[in-house]
């Protein structure tokens, strides 16, 4: 009787360990929905800060290629409100519109 309980607990721990290892592998490889796999060199885009304005609108400060962008997000899309430099702002707007269309 005791050996049956011990073997059942060992089997349970083994299955939980496999499940934990699988979850770690999925998270580590970037296969979770909404997560973008970056290049091995490091992150190109980082969200520095985010603030909810109301239930549907949000302000986001994003960093891309060493420049910072203030973005306004809502259900209809994303808009660049301000940036460090105009040249990168146009390229960043194109990147955002390409991601919204796909």
Q: From the centroid of its chain, how far is CA 15?
A: 28
pLDDT recorded at residue 86: 62
- Do 28 and 55 lie in one domain? The reply is no
Residues 50 and 97 occupy one common structural domain: yes
Are 73 and 26 members of one domain?
Answer: no
Determine the pLDDT at residue 92.
Answer: 64
The torsion of the CA quartet 13, 15, 21, 24, rounded to 10 degrees, works out to -100
Q: Would you state the pLDDT for residue 22?
A: 93
Q: Tell me the C-alpha distance between 32 and 46, whole Å.
A: 17
Residues 14 and 59 in one domain: no
Q: Is residue 30 located within the same domain as residue 75?
A: no
Structural domains in the chain (count): 2
Q: Is the pTM of the predicted complex or chain greater than 0.85? A: no
Whether 23 and 64 share a structural domain = no
Task: Identify whether residues 31 and 55 lie together within a single domain.
Answer: no
Is the same domain home to 15 and 59? no
Question: Rounded to whole angstroms, how far apart are CA atoms 69 and 29?
Answer: 28
* Per-run averaged pLDDT (10 residues), the chain, 102 residues: 93 96 85 61 79 89 85 88 70 66 56
pLDDT of amino acid 100? 59
Q: What is the span of the domain harbouring residue 3? A: 1-37
> What does each C-alpha distance from 75 to 56, 57, 78 come to in angstroms?
7, 8, 8
Residue 63: count of CB within 10 angstroms of its CB = 16
């Amino acid at each position: 009787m005791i050996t049956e309980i011990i073997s059942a607990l060992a089997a349970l721990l083994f299955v939980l360990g496999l499940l934990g290892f699988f979850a770690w592998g999925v998270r580590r490889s970037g296969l979770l929905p909404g997560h973008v796999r970056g290049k091995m060199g490091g992150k190109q885009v980082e969200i520095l800060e985010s603030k909810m304005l109301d239930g549907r609108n949000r302000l986001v400060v994003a960093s891309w290629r060493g420049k910072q962008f203030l973005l306004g997000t809502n259900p209809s899309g994303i808009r660049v409100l301000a940036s460090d430099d105009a040249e990168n702002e146009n390229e960043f707007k194109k990147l955002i519109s390409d991601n919204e269309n796909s």
